[in-house]
Amino acid sequence: MSSGAKEGLSVSYSILPIFGGENYDFWKAKMRTILLSERLWSFIERGLQEPEDLSQLPVAEREKFEAEVMKDAKALSKIQNGVTSDIFPRITRAKTAKEAWDTLEKEFQGDIKAITIKLQTLRREFYNMKMKESECIQDYASRLAEVVNQMRTLGEEISDRRVVEKILISLLEKYDPIVAAIEECKDITT
């Protein structure tokens, strides 16, 4: 048994998604799941809580804080290893996982105003989306799901019912009998 295992430390071998400047929202969602699964997400949400005077802490609390520092370093390491060498310089000065995360989020997701603008554009796309003559239902549903997922990633709450309703009202007229049958026989809320 390794000394790490004796001390209660575990080695994790998560395959990290690599962010190279595109599809930040998808990378963010994957990284969040990995950090949650390894109980490191709290360091992104609240950051590392440093005591005012470390030297004044009792030994047990100092050891607890040192363990927290190691967990934060582990989260920071995952973020650093989850970006390409082109993106890494943007976070090299970050001392904590939260600082690195916030830096990437600000640059690639934008501030509240940028998110609001992105959401407004996606809402417009969602409302205006219709099935194309050359498209099969599955392709249309996938195209719509992509827009919905982007909206959800940015914090928009869209119920499955609303998505189903959108699909049903935006299909081509040739599907009207099928839509009527679905609406009559099925509970579109589920």
What does the alpha-carbon distance between residue 81 and residue 100 come to, in Å, rounded to a whole number?
A: 12
- What six digits make up the tokens of 123? 């809402």
Integer Cα distance of 12 and 9 in angstroms: 10
State the chain's mean pLDDT as an integer: 88
pLDDT of residue 136: 92
Q: How confident is the model at residue 93 (pLDDT cuts 50, 70, 90)?
A: very high
C-alpha span between 25 and 109 (Å, rounded): 7
pTM for the model: 0.62
End-to-end CA separation in angstroms for the chain: 50
Q: What's the sign of the alpha-carbon dihedral 182, 187, 189, 190? A: negative
68-79 tens-digit pLDDT: 999 999 999 999
Whether the CA torsion 101, 102, 103, 107 is positive or negative: it is positive
Print burial letters for 24-35: b (CB count within 10 Å at least 16), e (below 16): bbebbebbeebb
| Cα 108 to Cα 26, 61, 101, 154, distances in angstroms | 12, 37, 11, 12
Percent of the chain with pLDDT over 70: 92
Burial class (CB in 10 A: 0-12, 13-18, 19+), 52: exposed
